[in-house]
Amino acid sequence: MMLFYLLALTIVVADQVIKYYVHSLMKLGQTIPLIDGIVKLTYVRNTGAAFSLFIGFSPYLIVVGLLVAVAVIYFHYKAPARNRVLQVGLAFVLGGSLGNLIDRIFRSYVIDYLDITIWPVFNLADIMINVGVIMIAFKLFAEEENKNVPDLV
């Protein structure tokens, strides 16, 4: 159980440290190439949700972020501790959600910085949320598939 919160906290801290340096060392809109033509560091402020949807709905997005955090903690306690994939996925979602929630509460926008040109700019918290959701979905679908396999013995 403690590892769950430690993993989530590690994600929050890493996310906030990166955002601090981007905010402190870069100008808004500035781009720094990282991997030639593929990955850039671009400082943008997102006042909406994923893909800049719901711009101007920051108070509602704070409530949604809080509800997600509470739901993830609830499911953490409901899911078996031995179900490591599910627990890690939940910790990723919690850490990522809290990382972006901190931005919304204290800045009224989320700092995004990873730019792969063909996709909207995003951040570590976004990656963790998406990887966590994929892990949770994978685990739940795998368990459902196992229920539908008939016993041959």
The pLDDT, as a whole number, for residue 54 is 57
In this predicted structure, the answer to whether residue 45 has a pLDDT above a threshold of 80 is yes
* Angle ∠(37,38,44) on CA atoms, nearest 5: 95
Convert the pLDDT of each residue in 54-92 to its tens digit.
566 567 888 899 999 999 999 999 988 888 999 999 999
pLDDT in the model for residue 56: 61
pTM of the model: 0.88
15 is catalytic: no
Q: Which of 36, 112, 115, 151 is catalytic?
A: 112
Structure-derived torsion over alpha carbons of residues 117, 118, 123, 125, reported in degrees to the nearest 10: -170
Active-site entry in 15, 103, 115, 126: 126
